[in-house]
Structure formats: C-alpha cells, structure tokens
Amino acid sequence: MRDTLFGEQIDGFKKALMLNGHYEIANAPIKPCEEQWKFTAADLDYQMTFGKPTIVQPVDGSSSPPLPQYRSIAQIPKTADPNDKYDIVAVVLFVEEEPRRIQRDQGRVIYVREIVVIDHSTEQPLLISAWSDLAENESDLLLQKAEQLQVVAFTALKISPHKGFSMTTTMSTTIDHSPVGDRPRALEDW
C-alpha cells in the first residue's frame, strides 16, 4: 500500500521506516485512492494517510535496515516478472543534464532523468530512468560529481522495456552515494 509524505512528515518518518522493513502501523487511516494519484493501473485502490497520531513500530524488534542484496548487472535477467526488484552497485558514467517533464493524465507533471551506469560484470552500460524526486534532487547530486567516477548503489529497481534492456526507479528506490561493503569496494578498485 502506498502513502505519500509531505514537508515535515518526510523528516519525521525518515528514521522510522526502512526499505524492506516490517512494521506495525497504527492511527494511519486507509481511504480510497483518487485515480489522479495512481502511477500505474496496477496500483491499489486505497491509500494510507500518515499524520501526527500515526505510530510506526518495527515488527521484528529491530530498527536497523536490512542490507541490500546487490547483484551485478550481468546477473539481472533480461526478462523477469515485472514486480521483481533488484539492488545494484555501479559506476556512474552519465547523468542527463536536466530532468525531462512528462505530462500525465489530468494535467499532472512528473520528471524523469536518465542515468547510465556500468560494473565489472559486463561491457554493456545500463540505462536507469530515475523518476519524480529521484530525477530531481538525488540526480542533481550525481550530476554535481559527474566529472569524477562515482560508485553508487540503487535499490529496488525494476526492469523496463524502454530502449531495450534498461531499469527504472520505483517508489521504493533509494540512491546511496556512499555504499559500503565488498561490492562497492571491488568497484572502487576496478
């Protein structure tokens, strides 16, 4: 189920919710979702609303985020279930200068920016389409360091048929500008 946080809510819940975490959420009303706020036809017909009385508790008693399951680009199947998500660590080769505006139904505008990455498992670079906030704020940070090679981690990417084999960000995608672990270290040495 989707919930969108605005303004101060983002900072308020940033530390309470971790990607792939399991939570008990109380005092978050569920109501029908208006069609204009759905990103795809597969989105649920309901949305959750967070507010000041909302309480978020980790179910497993742990508040530390689970570690991403990084895959090399070559390990990602070219055809997969459209709901499968993948975590990768790669070297950023290119970031589109400005995000493009896409006009959606009912006059809504969203932004997309292309990012090209590679890792040592393949000679074929991978195109990632970053959407919404990731096309703006996070991609701006990548663009600022575009002159130097950056090892960056992307979580929860989906396969996209756009321009051949490529990937796209999702509502769950995060971009880690300073990933840690064996895979990021191996790419830095590469």
Q: Does 8-58 match 70-189 in CATH topology?
A: yes
Instruction: Share the mean pLDDT of the chain.
Output: 83
17 in Cβ contact with 23 (< 8 Å): yes
SS3 136: helix
Token pair 């399991």 is found at 22
CATH architecture, domain 70-189: Beta Barrel (2.40)
Which residue, among 169, 159, 167, 108, has the nearest Cα to 134 in the 3D structure? Answer: 169
List, for residues 141-187, the tens digit of each pLDDT value: 888 887 788 999 999 899 987 777 899 998 888 899 989 888 888 89
Instruction: Report domain 8-58's class.
Output: mainly beta
Give residue 20's region: left, alpha or beta (phi > 0; psi -120 to 50). Answer: left
List, for residues 40-50, the tens digit of each pLDDT value: 666 778 888 88
Query: Domain segments of the chain: what residues?
Result: 8-58, 70-189
Report the C-alpha gap between 144 and 32 in whole angstroms: 40
Query: What single-letter DSSP state applies at residue 33?
Result: P
Q: Map 78-113 to HEC letters.
A: CCCCCCCCEEEEEEEEEECCCCEEEECHHHCEEEEE
Report the C-alpha gap between 142 and 147 in whole angstroms: 10
pLDDT at 106: 77
List, for residues 94-150, the tens digit of each pLDDT value: 999 999 998 877 778 889 999 999 999 999 999 999 998 899 888 888 888 877 889
143 in Cβ contact with 53 (< 8 Å): no
